[in-house]
Amino acid sequence: MKLLFKNHYAEMQKVKVVALCVVCVLIGFSCKNKNEDKPPLSNEHIYAKVENPSNYSNVVEVKLMGFDRNLGKNVDLAHGDWKNGGFAIDLPKTLTPDYLYALINSGGLPTTITGTPSTLNISNKNAKIMNAEFWRVDKDGNMFSHFYPFKIDKDGNAKSAFYTYVDSDVTISGYIEGVVVIAEFDEDKNADFLYQWEKTTTYSIQWKKGWNVWCLSGSLSKTDRQITEQWTTVPVSELKWYGGEDLWKLEFYQ
C-alpha cells in the first residue's frame, strides 16, 4: 500500500521531492572534510559540495532565486559558479520587503505558522521571512530543478533543511496538534480508503536577523495513526547537498 499525505506541507512540496526523517546509507563528501581547501562556513556564505557531482556535469552556475511580489516573478538574488563538484555563493545580507512574506498565515508555505494556539509561543509574530531556492543553470542559461540541503546524522537519517531569511530575531517554541487525512491506494492507484491521522508538530526555532538554517524531521506510527513532525534550528556544518535526480534514494517516512 502507498500512503499519500494531505496536508499543507505535502501540498507545497508536490513539485519537489522532500525527505522527512529517512534511513539511508550515504557515502560522499562530509561538510567537515579537513582535506578540502574551502572558506569558513557561515549562514551568509555557502560552500556546498554536492553528492554525486557527475550527475550534474551540465551545470555551470547556481542561482539563489526569490519571488518579487511587485514584479510577480522570480528574481536573481545571488549566484555562484559550479566548480569542483559544488558551488560557493554569498547570500545577500539584507532583502527588500518585496521579497518577504508574513511568518503567520501566509498561504500554507512550508515555513509558515498557520495558527497561534496557546501551546505555541512566537516572540515576534510580525516577522517577515523568505525561503532560499538554489536553482541549477546550464551553459545556455536555462534554469532547472534545485539543489537541496539535508542534515544527515551519524546513523544515516536525513532531515530536510532550509535556508530562511528573517527580518528580525524570532524564537518559536511549543507545539500544534491537528488532524490530517491520508488516502490509501491500491495497485491501480485508486483510493480505497480515507483515514484520519493525529498530527503533532513541535517547534524549537531560534532565528537571528538575517539568514538561518533549520530542518524538518518526521515519523509516523501506523498502529495508532500518529504523525510527528519537528522543526529545529541546525548548524551549517551538518548539511549535505543533493540534486533532484538523487532524491529518489531518500524514501518518505521510513
Q: Which of 56-70, 99-113, 145-159 has the highest mean pLDDT?
A: 56-70
Which residue has better confidence, 16 or 118? Answer: 118
**Contact of 146 with 16, CB cutoff 8 Å:** yes
What is the chain's alpha carbon radius of gyration, rounded to the nearest angstrom? 19
Q: How far apart are CA 220 and CA 145, in angstroms?
A: 28
Return the DSSP state at 118. Answer: T
Q: How far apart are CA 18 and CA 40, in angstroms?
A: 27
160-185, pLDDT tens digit by residue?
Answer: 899 999 999 999 999 989 887 777 66
79-119, pLDDT tens digit by residue?
Answer: 999 999 999 999 999 998 889 988 887 655 666 787 788 89
Among 13-27, 140-154, 194-208, 215-229, the minimum mean pLDDT is found in: 13-27
Domain limits, the chain: 2-248
> Does residue 238 sit in helix, strand or coil?
helix
Residues near 201 by beta carbon (within 8 Å), at least 6 away in sequence: 175, 176, 177, 178, 228, 229, 230, 231
Distances (CA, A) of 193 to 1, 7, 95, 221, 254: 11, 17, 46, 17, 21
Q: pTM of this prediction?
A: 0.73
Could you tell me the three cell numbers for 103? Answer: 511568518
- Strands 191-207 and 226-233, by their bridges, are parallel
200-212, pLDDT tens digit by residue?
Answer: 999 999 999 999 9
